[in-house]
Structure 1
């Protein structure tokens, strides 16, 4: 028999979710279960879904006082929020990656007998899913009991944190090359099942949002005039870059454009979607975990790299460590691809990687236009997604015009893109 749910911080388990959690607990050999619920994210930390942390307490293997915790990722109840952001497509995409792509990755490293200590495990496990509430709800492994926590999105990540992320991205991308090489039919099925959720017609940022996109570009252009003279090369190249924004966005995320080097990407690798584990000094990171696969896409591996480096770091980090971070990525990729049984020199030589960098790094600027107003906003200034309306994006952009952190980091991204000849 189960005890009632004890709820905290206004969080609730709705519908069938309690039964789903109890089923997970039973599979983990728990009986006489009690459940405590709390919110797993603060305002400004998550934008597409709602996160709850559920602590399960009870007997395990007959021993009293045992506990475990899971994270529930819930589709929003607010219908307006679901409609404006089209969150159902994001949840469906994430479920496909968790239920189809990640098991294929795991199967490959098991079949190739990758040593346990060297296996990729930087994504939480999917424990269960539920579709009874009119959409997908996911039950995921909670990484916090293992010492993982989120970094401060406002500070930007230093080189040590970035190096860990780049290495894990390299390993994540290596699976696609190994599957393409060794299991081509399976890889074709997986890459076809991953859906572009942002830059496509009828998506959250698709054709019908064209008016909002133009407003955003006009806003950034006007704010950047505070930093760059109107006729400067920086503004000229930026205006040219934005002149055909929708087509440029759809092209840069096209897997076909990146062949034969396209991979199944994480898609949304930014600070709040990464957890870090620290050494005893509580300052030096030793491991990274990648969260949130809702925006996974089939595209150039450089789209993940550029998004991460240009939207999550200060320019000082990029100027001091850009080359070393690219080396961290490629060395980790190459070493892991060899463990998976394929040859990086044949599948993705360094020269091909650099060519992809040249062609697709402008994705970092494209994403910065969308996300930096949010990433650099104080928690109290982030949009209330449950009260979203036609004026939400406009009002938030207006606030960013006086946000000095946003103005500096947006200008730094434009400057870097021009200086590196990416635009």
Structure 2
């Protein structure tokens, strides 16, 4: 009976295919994303519509070179091929019947293409990146991130896979292209502060220019060189556009989550994922008032998932530990606010980059909302940074 049911509902042939971009132009730099919608005839004779996401190396030779240098597709395919199945086995081992935190991988071509489940078909969608995450989205995200971190932590502690297979975070590699992107943002903003903001911002512009001179070294020192006591497998690019949510049909509150785009996964302090999410994606009032509560949610969830996986929770960070770790990484938060946040909030085609570059344009900083965020965040972060 089961075999017959499965046979009758299995595909017989594809009747028609339509393809379209899966994301707006300029929204994804390291890959081309295509949605293929198929009319499929089943063995039963019925026809159904199914869609998949095809993610592949960009056609541009220059961008493709950047992708290869960063091992972006190697990292993501490695996750779907080895790491996520190991996480699923760990969940099964300890009776976790909860949602997976990633989509299904249907096929892959080493190391240039992935065919992925279309999450829109199963009710997931992106939140609005311009408005930012409210507290409901933020709590669900940090709890889910804690589970992802816990699963990777337990597997690495068991020796199930080698953390050295992952490159360091792109922010800490001290590579000229990355340094130019970050330092360029500091220089462009400093010039804008002098030319268009109130006179009191001239002294802040001076500080940004001082930091820009050795920003790559500073990021490398805190991300790569400084001793980190507690490490996990980080998502690596944890911002609102790389997260999809399913919502309760009555309350409209988020109830389930899928992380996407694992091309930047790396092994390091969990504070890097948290800083990335907090300073790229939170609504300003949530970032201002609720970070301690979010860290409490994260630490509680991390301990819960580690213990439920049969591993001791001894040595896991508490809220004060995470706050101290985030203070140590203040320069990372500043780089996010100055050079990445404005780029992320830029819409559509205006976000598209020139081949092989990450240009920092003055107009990115002229949005009134971005200006308000910068004016609130930068002085607070500079207060914790030695020049």
- TM-score, normalising length from structure 2? 0.86
Question: Aligned partners of 1:209, 1:346: CA distance in 2, in Å?
Answer: 33
Asked if 2 retains the 8 angstrom alpha-carbon contact of 1:48 and 1:87, the reply is no
Gaps of 5+ in 2: 1-6
Partner of 1:370: 339
In structure 2, the CA distance between the partners of 1:252 and 1:90, relative to structure 1 (3 Å rule), is: farther
Deviating runs (4+, > 4 A) in structure 1? 84-88, 208-213, 234-241
Q: Is 1:330 matched up with 2:299?
A: yes
**Equivalent of residue 168 in structure 2, options 196, 211, 214:** 196
Tell me which moved more, 303-312 or 49-58.
49-58
User: CA 1:227 to 1:94, structure 2 compared with 1: closer, same or farther past 3 Å?
Assistant: farther
The aligned counterpart of 2:146 is 170
Which residue of 202, 221, 234 maps to 2:190? 221
**1:99 paired residue number:** 81
1:77 aligns with 2:51: no
Contact 1:308 1:364 (8 Å CA) reproduced = no
Superposed CA offset, 1:323-374 (max 9, x none): 2111121121111111111232334444433332332244222233332232
The yes-or-no answer on 1:273 pairing with 2:242 is yes
Q: Aligned residue for 1:51?
A: 33
Instruction: After superposition, give the CA deviation of every residue in 1:227-252 in whole Å (9 maximum; x if it has no partner).
Output: 572565x5566455444211122233
Aligned to 1:33: 14
Deviation at 1:143, TM superposition (A): 1.0
Aligned partner of 1:150 among 119, 126, 149: 126
Aligned positions of 1:188-267 closer than 5 A: 189=162, 191-196=163-168, 198-199=170-171, 206-207=175-176, 210-211=179-180, 213-225=182-194, 226=197, 229-230=200-201, 238-239=208-209, 241-254=211-224, 257-267=226-236
Relative to structure 1, is the Cα distance of residues 149 and 42 closer, same or farther in structure 2, using a 3 angstrom cutoff? Answer: same
Superimposed CA distance per residue, residues 292-341 of structure 1 (whole angstroms, 9 cap, x where no aligned partner): 00111111100000111111123211122112111121121111111111
Alignment match of 1:339 (pick from 308, 317, 342): 308
Residue of structure 1 aligned with 2:254, choices 285, 288, 313: 285
How many angstroms apart in 2 are the aligned matches of 1:282 and 1:333?
Answer: 27
Matched, 1:304 2:284: no
Separation (CA, whole Å) in 2 of partners of 1:281 and 1:223: 46
Q: Tell me the matched-pair count.
A: 376
Report if aligned partners of 1:82, 1:88 keep a CA contact under 8 Å in 2: no
- Determine helix, strand or coil for the equivalent of 1:186: coil
Contact 2:246 2:255 in 1 (8 A): yes
User: Does the aligned pair in 1 maintain the 2:187–2:212 contact within 8 Å?
Assistant: no
Partner of 1:186: 160
Partners of 1:321 and 1:311 in 2: CA distance? 15
1:417 and 2:377 are equivalent in the alignment? no
Normalised by the length of structure 1, the TM-score is 0.80
TM-superposition CA deviations, 1:374-402 (whole Å, max 9, x none): 2121324222x4x537xx644x5132243
How much has 1:269 moved relative to structure 2?
A: 0.7
What's the CA shift string for 1:6-27, capped at 9, x where partnerless? Answer: xxxxxxxxxxxxxxxxxxxx9x
Shift in alpha-carbon separation, 1:159–1:294, aligned structure 2, 3 A: same
Q: Is the 8 A contact 2:296 2:319 kept in 1?
A: no
CA contact 2:14–2:39 (8 Å) conserved in 1: yes
Q: Secondary structure at the match of 1:267?
A: coil
Aligned to 1:114: 95
- Distance across 1 between alignment mates of 2:140 and 2:153: 21
Contact kept in structure 2, 1:238 and 1:414, CA below 8 Å: no
Please tell me the root mean square deviation across aligned C-alpha atoms, in Å.
2.8
Q: Relative to structure 1, is the Cα distance of residues 344 and 63 closer, same or farther in structure 2, using a 3 angstrom cutoff?
A: farther
Residue 76 of structure 1: CA displacement?
A: 0.7
SS at match of 2:33: strand
Q: What is aligned with 1:18?
A: none
Unpaired runs of 5+ in structure 1? 1-25
What is aligned with 2:361?
A: 397
**For 1:76-119, what per-residue CA distance to the aligned partner results, in whole angstroms no more than 9, with x for missing partners?**
112133235657621122112221221222222222x23313xx
